[in-house]
A and B are shown apart, each in its own frame.
Chain A
Amino acid sequence: KNQVEQSPQSLIILEGKNCTLQCNYTVSPFSNLRWYKQDTGRGPVSLTIMTFSENTKSNGRYTATLDADTKQSSLHITASQLSDSASYICVVSANTGFQKLVFGTGTRLLVSP
């Protein structure tokens, strides 16, 4: 069964601190892995997208890693800001002819002043 699991479920950090969010997946056949940021009451917005051959991808203060052998990914946020408070969703795309996106339930991050 295709699944994406994220941890932790929620996280509170102080402004300026770093944090790492985890994603484990069992999706086959694998096409790519994406991280999305979803602000409260808004649609998800893409942060990164990585294919099988990519280990690391950065987008400003966001750095995603992918280990396709262990089927794990992480999203590292550096020098957190209050605006980073949001849900972060790991999404794995299955290459089934049609791009099937399998969504994790997200990690809810709160950055506290």
Chain B
Amino acid sequence: NAGVTQTPKFRILKIGQSMTLQCTQDMNHNYMYWYRQDPGMGLKLIYYSVGAGITDKGEVPNGYNVSRSTTEDFPLRLELAAPSQTSVYFCASSYSTGEAFFGQGTRLTVV
């Protein structure tokens, strides 16, 4: 049982480059989330999805895009990377308001 799987684990991007952070879950959860964690700060919600085909903005969505074409996958797209997007990104999933399960994180550095 893999749970929530994120790839890649680490990535260095140059300013202006684009990339997609992948997230997949095998628990048939309807809710999926993307968070970022900056040093000394609590996790901040970027985007979330309550089901396939439905996405919505969280607290800090600027500079990011998401899609949810299947229940399992919830990729996060950075179109024009900026140094302010240097962070650790966590994907999570849950069954409605139940326990949230987190992936191992992607450490992104934009230089």
Contact = CB atoms under 8 A, between A and B. Distances in A.
Nearest to B107: A41
A44 B102 contact: yes
Interface in B36-70: 40-45, 48, 50, 56
A104 B73 CA distance: 27
A36 to B, nearest CB: 8
A32 B98 CA distance: 9
Interface string A29-46: 001101000000111111
B42 A4 contact: yes
A106 B105 contact: no
Bin the interface of chain A by size. 20 to 34
Contacts of A44: 43, 90, 102
Given A4-B42, A89-B42, A105-B41, A99 B94 contact: yes
Contact of A43 (B48, B96, B99, B103): B103
Contact of B50 (A41, A49, A98): A98
Interface of A: 4, 31-32, 34, 41-46, 49, 89, 93, 95, 98-106
17 contacts: A32-B97, A43-B4, A43-B103, A43-B104, A43-B105, A89-B42, A89-B43, A98-B48, A99-B96, A101-B33, A101-B45, A103-B35, A103-B42, A104-B42, A105-B41, A105-B42, A106-B42
